[in-house]
A = this chain, B = another copy of it.
Amino acid sequence: MRIGELAARAGTTTRTLRYYESRGLLPARRAGNGYRTYDESDLRLLRQIRTLQDFGFDLEETRPFVECLRAGHPEGDSCPASLAVYRRKLDELDSLIGQLSGVRDTVARQLARAELAAEAEAPGGPEPQCELGGDW
C-alpha cells in the first residue's frame, strides 16, 4: 500500500508519515518509481504510535514500543524498554497531576478571596445569588 492509503487507514496524514520517517521511526520500502510502500505490519506500528501519542507520549517515547513490535514481539509493551517508558511516564504523570492540583487549589483560594473582597466592596450589590430563593 502507498502512503496515502496508509495515512487514510490510520486516520492521519501523509505529511505526518513523512515526518515519522524523517525521525527514523517508520521507514518505508520504496517501489521502483520511488513511491513509499507499506504493508499491514506498518499499519500496526503506526497504530501503536498514534495510540501512545494520544496518551501524550512524545514521539521519542514511542520508539521502544515500535522497535519491540518490529522485533517480532506480540505487543509493543512486551519489552523491558517499553515498560521503563511506562514507569517513567507514570511518575511524570503523578508529579504533574500533583503540581496541577496544587495550583488548582491555590487558584481556587485566590478566587474565593477575591470574590469575597469584591462583595464586601459592593455591599447589597447585584448578586445576592442564593439567599431566600428567587422568583422560581
Contacts and interface: CB of A to CB of B under 8 A. Distances in A.
Interface of A: 55-56, 75, 77-78, 80, 82-83, 86-87, 89-90, 93-94, 96-97, 100-101, 103-104, 106-108, 110-111, 114-115, 117-118, 121
**Copies of chain A in the complex:** 2
29 contacts: A55-B103, A55-B106, A55-B107, A56-B100, A56-B103, A75-B117, A77-B111, A77-B114, A78-B114, A78-B117, A78-B121, A80-B118, A82-B114, A83-B111, A83-B115, A83-B118, A86-B110, A86-B111, A87-B111, A89-B107, A90-B104, A90-B108, A93-B100, A93-B107, A94-B104, A96-B100, A97-B97, A97-B104, A100-B100
A75 B114 contact: yes
A87 to B, nearest CB: 7
